[in-house]
Every structure is written in C-alpha cells, then in structure tokens.
Structure 1
C-alpha cells in the first residue's frame, strides 16, 4: 500500500500567501481600472467632445432644415447624451406639416432627424401661382410656384377653404394609380349640388362627380373605362346611383363642304 505524502504547514504557507497576493492585486487592478474609466467618463462629459457636433435632417422636401432644427431645440452647446430623443420628437411633431419623426444619435457626435412630411395631393391654381396642397388641406403658400409640373392634380376654381380641405382628404384616400390619371379638377357648384366637380383625365375622358365620396367614386373609373370601346371619348357621370357614359357627339359632315374638300 502506497504511503500518503504529508505536506507540512510550513510548506503550504508560502503558496497561500502567493495566491492571496495575486487575488489582492487583481482586485486592486479592477478597482483602479473602474476608477479611471469613471474619471474618463466625467472628463468626457464635461469636455467639448461630448457636445453635439453635427445635426442632420432627412426626408424633408418642403420644410427647411433650419426650421426643424430650431424646433428641436438642439444646438452645438447641447450635450450629446443630455437630451431625450422622444422629447425632441414631440417638439418637431408640433409642426403642422410633419407626419412622422425619428431622432437618433450617431456616434461620436452626430444627431440625425428623419421626418415624414404630410403628402402633397394637389396644386391649387390661384391667380398666377400654383400652390401645393397637403393631405390635411393645408396650403403651402411659402413654396408656391409659377408653373405646374403635372406631378399632382390641379384644382381650379376652388374658392372656399372648406371645399378645398374636403377634396384634399378625398384625394389622400385615392389610390396613386387612379390619382396619376387625373389632370385637373374644376369645382362647378350648382344650386342643387354645391359639391359638383368636373374631372379632366389624362386619357381624354371627362368625369362629373361629387366631392362627397370622391375617392370611392373615382376608384371605379378604371373598370368603367375598360368597358368602353378603344378610342372612344366622352363624359362619364359617376354618382351613388351608378355610372353613365355620354360619348362626344360627332358633328355631321355637310355634303357641300365634303365636295369642296375633295376639289
């Protein structure tokens, strides 16, 4: 039977001391590292390096960058970590033309404001100006232009704000595939129907309908046109009772005029 080796207490003491010393050193290094990290963070937060260096705005087409930055209350004097993104977003959302906003930090010192503006649904013709109309019914007088580029329907003779707002909301509900077919919308109120409009389409047809349920009525337009003979033009009346097509009358050719033309 093998004899057990007996280790005396004198031999174990140096090893215990060495292990305890290493443990103490590791603990000291940890605390010193933590101390210097905290000191570095404090120095960083108190230095210009922690302030916002750049503020970028994305997604805006009508609103100036400066207007949104001013609204955010962010400046180069603000600490990069010292503001709440959600609070800044709430400030920017107070702008009438902003639909959505996201504020994000980009290391080391950049803040990115990404916005989504209310959609432009039409232009309003007013004297010699063409004013963009938003889905909310708000007119962007500040960005009016002297020419109409056809990227949205043109509203003509809309002289009352309440009707302009109503058609704006209806156009917002209209699929883009149908809205892109519309060239001009004329408000032609009558004694019996204050909401009557004439809609001129890019494919040559004219539609008479109402501002009320405008989107619902115009959604039926493509299927109505598909049922007509190719090359045929005329007026389509769409209402609650259905749709009626009246082709343009072709003027009869006078025989004498015809003979004159063949001479």
Structure 2
C-alpha cells in the first residue's frame, strides 16, 4: 500500500472531526434559539403585553369611536391573538350605515378598525326630524332632530315604496356636482303622473320633472342653466324642456344641448 496515501488520510481525520464539531455546535445554537424563542412567546402570551391596549377607529361618521368599539365586542381584556376579528367585522358590517369593515392587528397590542360607510344620498324630512337615506336605499331610523342637513338634498313628502326607490336610484346616477346643487325635492304626484316631483335648487331655480326621465334630463342641468343667463325661474323637464322666468307671463322653450 502506498504510504503517502495513508499519511494523507490520517492528516484529514482531524479536519473531519473539526467540521463535525462545528456542525454539532451550529445545531445546538439553533436548538437553543428555538427553545428561548418559544419561552419568550409563552411569557408574552401570559403577560399583559398580549392583551389589547389600544383600539383605533377610522372612517366613522355616523358613530362615535366608543359606539364602534362596543358594537365590535373587542375590549382591552381580550388577548390580541385570541379575539375573533372575523366575527367583529361581520357584526360591524350589519350596521345599516357601514358598507365595509376591516380589522387588523398592529404589534405589540393595538387593534385597528377601518370603516367605509354608505354614502348619504339624501335626507327624508319627517316633522322636525331628518332621516338619512343611504345609497343602499335604506332609511335610517335614527334621525337628526332639529338639525338641518346641508350636504345632501332633502326629500319631502316621500314614503317607503316605489316612488322613493325610483328617487334614490335616480340620485345614484347623478354626478356629485349636480347632486350638490339640489336643495329640496318635493314629491308632487298628479292624476296623470304618480312620479311627478318639484325641486328647489341651491342656485335659485326651480325644476318640475318626472322620475321616469329625471336622471336622463337632469344630467343636462348645467347646460340648461348656462343658456338662461342667470334669469331665475322654473325649469320644466316633464315633457320636453321649458323655462318660465318668475317675472314672465309665458314660458319660453329651452333646448337641451346634449353633452358628448
């Protein structure tokens, strides 16, 4: 047997032992790290740090933060990892004003609740109260007593039913810049038209219309007004389009310019 080869192998034996020892040490370090990490997690779960300390709420307009916290069922006594955020989300989304709710955890102990509420398209006048009408068609039972809403049209004379449903569907299709020009919408049915309405606009005009064609014709309102040269009066959109100035005896026809 070649002695040089035997010597070469013998020289390599200490190096192999050293490599095995280093591998064993690395494994021991990994085990120790894993062990202490588990210990830290156990301590964390058993300590007050794992309990909810802060609850932040955003996107809420119809409810206070305290009301949202109460509806969600999440409290500062809950373990941040054991709370049922999915159930809390479902409960919040059952509130008539809430469209979507998102609940997330921000370490170490903060719960974040983000809401998206239904848009309030109008307010239904009932006596001295104003009930918000949501884009979903739902009328909120909770009214704004003795408080005049200013950010949406006021509906007067409407009740739940086909006319109100048609009204809400029409308002949903109008651009925001036109919706914001409407002050009041009165339900004013006649013998020939059960869907007749009368509008008072924020810019001083009045509009007669029917819900059957209201959204199609009202979208041209800015174009119609631009032709009137600030002369105030009543715009009739029921059949064709006519305008009668307050001081005039006869109505003059106004042609609607179609917008591309």
The SS at the match of 1:52 is: coil
* Cα distance change, pair 9–203 in 1 and its aligned pair in 2 (3 A): closer
- Tell me the residue number matched to 1:155: 155
Are 1:234 and 2:233 counterparts? yes
TM-superposition CA deviations, 1:172-210 (whole Å, max 9, x none):
222110011111111111122121111111222211012
- Tell me the residue number matched to 2:60: 60
Would the aligned equivalents of 1:72 and 1:92 in 2 still touch at CA under 8 Å?
yes
Are 1:191 and 2:191 counterparts? yes
Q: So what's the TM-score if we normalise by structure 1?
A: 0.81
* Cα distance, 1:84 vs structure 2: 5.5
Unaligned runs of 5+ in 1: 252-263
State the superposition RMSD in angstroms: 2.5
TM-superposition CA deviations, 1:145-170 (whole Å, max 9, x none):
31325222122233x22233432332
Matching of residues 11-50 of structure 1 within 5 Å: 11-50=11-50
* Cα distance, 1:85 vs structure 2: 4.3
The SS at the match of 1:224 is: helix
TM-superposition CA deviations, 1:1-41 (whole Å, max 9, x none):
xxx89845554443333332222112111111111112222
TM-superposition CA deviations, 1:222-256 (whole Å, max 9, x none):
1222223x1322221214x53222333447xxxxx
CA distance in 1, matches of 2:152, 2:188: 20
- Tell me the residue number matched to 1:259: none
Matching of residues 208-227 of structure 1 within 5 Å: 208-227=208-227
Q: So what's the TM-score if we normalise by structure 2?
A: 0.82
- Tell me the residue number matched to 2:91: 91
Number of aligned pairs? 245
Matching of residues 112-151 of structure 1 within 5 Å: 112-151=112-151
CA distance in 2, matches of 1:109, 1:60: 22
- Tell me the residue number matched to 1:247: 245
Q: Which has the larger radius of gyration?
A: 1
Would the aligned equivalents of 1:62 and 1:143 in 2 still touch at CA under 8 Å?
no
* Cα distance change, pair 92–130 in 1 and its aligned pair in 2 (3 A): closer
CA distance in 2, matches of 1:129, 1:83: 39
With 96-105 and 6-15 compared, the bigger mean Cα shift is at 6-15
